[in-house]
Amino acid sequence: MTRPGLVVFDLGGVVVRICRSWTEGCRAAGVEPRTGCDAAVGGPAMRALVDRHQRGAVACDAFFRESAALLGAHTPGEVERVHRAWILGDYPGVADAIDRIHAAGLATSCLSNTNASHWEQLRLSPAFMRIGSRHASHLLGLAKPDPAIYRAFEREVGAGAGSLVLFDDLPENVAAARACGWTAFEVDHAGDTAAQVTAALRGMGWIP
């Protein structure tokens, strides 16, 4: 691939740390986790609700109510507290890595599966605010790994697939991007994400 036109970041698991289970979210929020909720969160009904929420088809208040009903063990208020505690802050070094990417003459963007509430919280993230253009599932009405969201993103930024490089922590999102003609790297969310991004870009000769 020639020098990319745009370096695109997923957010959770790449730019910001997030909770990876309902129990972890409860602990971050100071809510007592209830038995069986991790299994319920991973079930088809909750996955479908989360997908609708991320595509902007369900408002946040309705999401909290419907989630509580599906879990059957938490109030809507507790669900909201967990939801608002889900983002744990920037990964160390990512803001500086984005600065180095810009200094090398490359533009940045993001494409994330998220929701209106978390999108507002992300404004507190120094790394997020450094990203040049910001795009999300709830704004586009589509979610990864649906190929349609990658095509919609291309139209939004006015760039062809061959000029886009994605960093994402979910293999299905990486695979879908590659199938659409993007260059994509899988990031290990449990590791040093800034170092992984920097190493990949240096390895391709795109940054010094």
| Interacting residues of 174 by C-beta distance below 8 A, sequence separation 6+ | 166, 168, 184, 185, 186
Residue 16 and residue 88 in contact, taking contact as beta carbons nearer than 8 Å = yes
Give CA–CA dist 171/18, Å, rounded. Answer: 17
Phi-psi region of 205 (alpha: psi -120 to 50; beta: other; left: phi over 0): left
192 class by beta-carbon count within 10 Å (0-12 exposed, 13-18 middle, 19+ buried)? middle
Determine the Cα angle at 195 with ends 131 and 142, to 5°.
45
| Interacting residues of 59 by C-beta distance below 8 A, sequence separation 6+ | 116
Quote the pLDDT of residue 2: 84
Quote the pLDDT of residue 83: 98
Residues 12-66: tens digit of each pLDDT? 999 999 999 999 999 999 999 988 899 999 999 999 999 999 999 999 999 999 9
Which is it for the CA torsion 101, 107, 113, 119, positive or negative?
positive
**pLDDT at residue 110 tops 90:** yes
Q: Please, which pLDDT band fits residue 172 given cuts at 50, 70 and 90?
A: very high
131 class by beta-carbon count within 10 Å (0-12 exposed, 13-18 middle, 19+ buried)? buried
Read off the pLDDT of each residue in 151-162 and give the average, rounded to a whole number: 97
**pLDDT at residue 1 tops 80:** no
Alpha-carbon distances of 121 from 34, 86, 116, 156, rounded to whole Å? 26, 10, 9, 23
Q: Token match 């991004």: residue?
A: 197
